[in-house]
Structure 1
Amino acid sequence: MISEETDVLIVGGGLAGLCAAIASASDLSKTLIVTKTLLGAATTTSMAAGIISAVTPHKDPEDSTEIHYQDTLKGGCYVNDRSLARIMVNDISKYFSRLVDLGIEFEGGEPRPAFIPGHSKSRAYYMKGKGIRLQNLLKNAALGLGCRCLERTLITSLVKDGERVVGAVGYKIDTKEIVTISAKSTILATGGPGELYPRTLMPIGSTGYGCSLALKAGAELVDMEFVQFYPVMVYEDGLPKIFVDYPPLLRNGGDVLDEDGVSVFKKNKIDEPFKLTRDMFSILLAKEMLSGKTERKVYFDCRGIKEELIKSNMILANALRDLESKRVPVKERPFGVSPYAHYIMGGVRVGKDCCTCVPGLYAAGEAVGGPHGANRIGGNAFAAAVAFGFRSGMAASMDCSATEAGSKEPFKKACEELSASLSSEGEVSAQKLRSEVQQLMWEKVGLLRTKEGTEKALVAFNAIREAIPASADPVEKLLLPMMIDTAEAIAISAMIREESRGSHYRTDFPEQSENWKKRISIRLKDGECEVNLIEV
């Protein structure tokens, strides 16, 4: 067994976790980052396009944080947590210069704001080297401040002493040892649940397990029905499944075609498709693909983009070059595409300092629910990760300075439960059960939803939960029940919200309703799921 002690424990080593670590360590708190992969690798940030939206000194003269805030509310269909949305746009405006000081660079040299859908002003900045370069810069900064890291370690439960979280228990993958971590404050920066769906570009292990950890520790989850599907990934046999930076392509002559070669936009009388927000575009494609008995294909067509536009537009040229470098035939023919699970607007409910309702427990980044409402507009993921990362790190550090180290006694039960899970032996592979969950999420709790579909998914999740997976892969085995916890929270919330709003589309309730201008929260009470509605 491995035993660790720290002031601030950060679960997750992506953008939010690293910002939290920098803030905590800068406040002279002993800081330990725990990541189930390698620090700076295989996180959502490392896979991201590197776009950050902020009002900066380089802004459009007519832009302001107030306008950014209003755009965020509009994009979120006005069910955002207003306080968190306000904090996000204000804080990222201040922290942008700190990122520049750390060494981030921008496409084209100088930071030049670009227009992307959902924003009324040009305020999106394309970072050179994308998300992976930013993550490496932050990793080096955190380690330089003395942060320690426990890599390839999966946290399986949070430990409480009375009402307060006092640390965590986990599994060290390489040595197959149980790990106990005593901490005065704990931050969940665990990213999103892209891998709940079979179509995603999120890294392996992005199961949203932080939501499960929080729920079982007594925290609330909010807005879990709002899962964002990015509209366009390459999805064709023989081609790599990769991200398509579609806004510059559509703005300059690109199109999306149905199986008969007809423009999906013209068919739906959409004159400016580049202005569609991600939820609108994804649902449009889902209706085209999934409304029949069998799935129909859709294709992205770049042949209408003129060469002179490519030469004069760096962002357009980069979008095409990224595809061509992966052998996507952008100039020869249309290529198959599909929406994919990209981000969740829901997550752990927090206050202005990222504190949950459970003392000693904080959340940051995509693990937080609220600031984005029913749909996240482009570039606000990095904005939220940076803003709430730094904010949670500072708050957790201040909290732990007034907290004594907890007792070791509460860790015994968590260790015994983990040991029992590892030693239990079943006959069904965890990978097979995981695939069943993914297919249920895609078919029943994906882009197009119904009450009947979500109910069927919940019944099936219960059956899968009863199965005891084989122990061939301990990590898959340990992640599966946490994956089901998060899937159930999404399905329950999707079943309850009887309207369509933002990324949540109910074919049996296709219109947005003023009666549903409220938020759904979920928590466990005496082992049962308790649902509450929060007025906006």
Structure 2
Amino acid sequence: MTWRAKADLLIVGTGVAGLTAALRARELGMRVLVVGKDAAAVGNTAWAQGGIAVVRQEERDAGDSVRRHVRDTLEAGAGLCDPEAVHGVLEDGATAMRRLREAGACFDTAEDGTLSRTREGGHSAFRVVHAGGDATGAEVQRALNEATSSEGVPVLEQHCVVELLHTDSGAVGGALVLDDAGRPGTIQAQAVLLATGGIGQLYRSTTNPEVATGDGIALALRAGASVADLEFVQFHPTALRSASGETSGGGRRPLVTEALRGEGAVLVDVHGRRVMRGVHPAEDLAPRDVVAAAIDRRMAATGADSVHLDATCLGAALPERFPTVHAACRAEGIDPVVEPIPVTTAAHYSCGGIVTTVDGRTEVSGLYAAGEVARTGLHGANRLASNSLLEGLVLANRAAEAVQRDLRCAPAARTALGSGALPAAPVVDRAALRAVMSAHAGIERDAAGLAAARERLDEASVVRPLRTRETAEDAALTLTADALLASAVERTESRGCHRRRDHPDTDDRHWRRGNALRLDVSGWLIRSTPGEMRAVA
């Protein structure tokens, strides 16, 4: 090893969950170290447009309540939410929002000074607060970056975690890390919190940035933790179909926020016919899985590679209310004020992840997770719009508090053990992996396609030492893809984000439960029944 560092709590990830946890842990008196593999501002958080769904008693629609927000979340989750987790997270939402605003985040306000609120798909009330019109994530990231800087929280940018280290008792006690020059080093820590974000780079078309390579999923699996419900990948219905994205073979696509539909925009096909009419009672404000599947079907039926979002009803107000969307459209030569926006579906959010409690604890001592990488039971089979930033805020605060409590009760600190050698793992070429996953594990799947995907990835994998960030990312994508495919094969029903052509019905008798996996001692994925997986009501 060429370098070493030490902390009470090592946080992997610089998005909303990671930095919120860092601020809370520092407030609680812990020595904190944050590691990110890119610049601190690069990650899923900064790209979030819509807002934060939260019911605040002092400012809410008449009749709206946390209980009503819970009901909307349970309905969107298609029977797989943990009601206790849903209520716990949403109940803490107002406090988490207050803490975020105290950290410096500024949200849009109405003329009377109250926070502006909009409505998104699946919500029965206007409860989504936003910043910069459609730049909520960017404002949240800005505020947290500035707060961690002013509080003196150390952040190691351009550092990639390749393996978690264990103590002789089996607890996680640190990490093996590559610095920005590719030199390996170790960080000793009494606890590790994974807040690495999503898995969008498994697919050719995604709203996620390049850093969303499933690192946390792979690290947790290799450390002995369970993951669950990875088959539930939420595809956003409306990503901008950009000419540059098509010619480059895919990658991150600009998001066209759902809030546009919340304020009157409608989806139409290439012939001008309404896409959602007759599909769902809520039409264009139906849950995301319903809208995304309807768009894919309409594109297949018309032979087009996009549908259109007609937001011309907003007129001249659109550039001010949705400046991010407006700028992205103008960059593609589209004027959304006077013409419909070409949109398509794109991998957006992983509803599954590392199995945790609502305090961020995993089944492995010393290991915690928060944000999109965690599976708390809040989202179930389909995330309700704008519940993600809220979960990241709430779980991050809770996880930091859980770490403090656990360290007080823990035995004397022990040093994590590591051979010093960089690990090796199966790796598949990223372009090939994306093509396979997009073809066979997208919005609709079947047994034949999933089997073909597993076979092709197995044939293409080569075991390589994880000497670079790129190789470590490709190894994480390979293991995460394997776990996702195994989960999708196992769940022989259609529910929420997981749709099987060969099993189109929902099977509550056998599948109203989580679908957990872990690695055995030989490195094979097997079924898991972690204690944190509560029964679904």
TM-score by length of 1: 0.89
User: Which residue pairs with 1:263 in the alignment?
Assistant: 274
User: Which residue pairs with 2:74 in the alignment?
Assistant: 73
User: Which residue pairs with 1:19 in the alignment?
Assistant: 20
1:15/1:385 contact within 8 Å kept: yes
User: Which residue pairs with 2:283 in the alignment?
Assistant: 273
- Residue deviations 1:460-508 (CA, integer Å, cap 9, x gap): 2222223659x9x922112111111111111111111111111111111
Matched, 1:520 2:518: no
Is the partner of 2:403 in helix, strand or coil? helix
User: Which residue pairs with 2:154 in the alignment?
Assistant: 148
- Residue deviations 1:159-214 (CA, integer Å, cap 9, x gap): 112320011101112x2210200000110001000111110121112011101100
Deviates more, 1:456-465 or 1:498-507: 456-465
| C-alpha distance in 1 between matches for 2:61 and 2:418 | 53
Matched, 1:90 2:91: yes
Is the partner of 1:305 in helix, strand or coil? helix
Please list, as runs of the form range in 1=range in 2, the aligned pairs for 1:487-498 lying within 5 A after superposition: 487-498=481-492
**In the alignment, residue 268 of structure 2 is paired with which amino acid?**
V
| C-alpha distance in 2 between matches for 1:76 and 1:101 | 31
2:118/2:259 contact within 8 Å kept: no
| C-alpha distance in 1 between matches for 2:285 and 2:275 | 15
Matched, 1:121 2:122: no
Structure 1 residues 172, 278: closer, same or farther in 2, change over 3 A?
A: same
- Structure 2 unmatched ranges of 5 or more: 247-252
Instruction: Pick from 142, 159, 183 the counterpart of residue 189 of structure 2.
Output: 183
**In the alignment, residue 221 of structure 2 is paired with which amino acid?**
L
- Residue deviations 1:338-374 (CA, integer Å, cap 9, x gap): 1111110100111232110000000000011121001
**In the alignment, residue 523 of structure 1 is paired with which amino acid?**
R
Instruction: Pick from 387, 404, 411 the counterpart of residue 418 of structure 2.
Output: 411
Structure 1 residues 486, 264: closer, same or farther in 2, change over 3 A?
A: same
Deviates more, 1:215-224 or 1:132-141: 132-141
Matched, 1:160 2:166: yes
TM-score by length of 2: 0.89
- Taking only aligned residues, the RMSD between alpha carbons, in angstroms, comes to 2.6
- Residue deviations 1:3-32 (CA, integer Å, cap 9, x gap): 001000001010000111011111110000
| C-alpha distance in 2 between matches for 1:306 and 1:168 | 50
Matched, 1:286 2:296: yes
Matched, 1:58 2:59: yes
Instruction: Pick from 266, 272, 281 the counterpart of residue 254 of structure 1.
Output: 266
Please list, as runs of the form range in 1=range in 2, the aligned pairs for 1:294-313 lying within 5 A after superposition: 296-302=304-310, 305=313, 307=315, 310-311=316-317
Structure 1 residue 144: Cα displacement = 2.9
Instruction: Pick from 502, 505, 508 the counterpart of residue 508 of structure 1.
Output: 502
Instruction: Pick from 334, 347, 364 the counterpart of residue 341 of structure 1.
Output: 347
| C-alpha distance in 2 between matches for 1:153 and 1:303 | 42
Deviates more, 1:359-368 or 1:452-461: 452-461
| C-alpha distance in 1 between matches for 2:398 and 2:308 | 40
2:279/2:294 contact within 8 Å kept: no
Calculate percent identity across the aligned residue pairs. Answer: 27
| C-alpha distance in 1 between matches for 2:281 and 2:364 | 49
| C-alpha distance in 2 between matches for 1:280 and 1:341 | 14
| C-alpha distance in 1 between matches for 2:96 and 2:484 | 32
1:8/1:400 contact within 8 Å kept: no
1:84/1:371 contact within 8 Å kept: yes
Structure 1 residues 301, 8: closer, same or farther in 2, change over 3 A?
A: closer
Is the partner of 2:515 in helix, strand or coil? strand
Structure 1 residue 454: Cα displacement = 1.1
User: Which residue pairs with 1:427 in the alignment?
Assistant: none
| C-alpha distance in 1 between matches for 2:31 and 2:76 | 39
- Residue deviations 1:122-146 (CA, integer Å, cap 9, x gap): 1100123521221121122223333
| C-alpha distance in 1 between matches for 2:71 and 2:216 | 29
**In the alignment, residue 27 of structure 1 is paired with which amino acid?**
L
Structure 1 residues 441, 317: closer, same or farther in 2, change over 3 A?
A: closer
User: Which residue pairs with 1:101 in the alignment?
Assistant: 102
Is the partner of 1:182 in helix, strand or coil? strand
Matched, 1:379 2:386: yes
Structure 1 residues 111, 510: closer, same or farther in 2, change over 3 A?
A: same
Deviates more, 1:111-120 or 1:491-500: 111-120
- Residue deviations 1:211-235 (CA, integer Å, cap 9, x gap): 1100111111011111011101111
Instruction: Pick from 193, 200, 204 the counterpart of residue 210 of structure 2.
Output: 204
1:152/1:172 contact within 8 Å kept: yes
Instruction: Pick from 177, 184, 201 the counterpart of residue 170 of structure 1.
Output: 177
Structure 1 residue 43: Cα displacement = 0.7
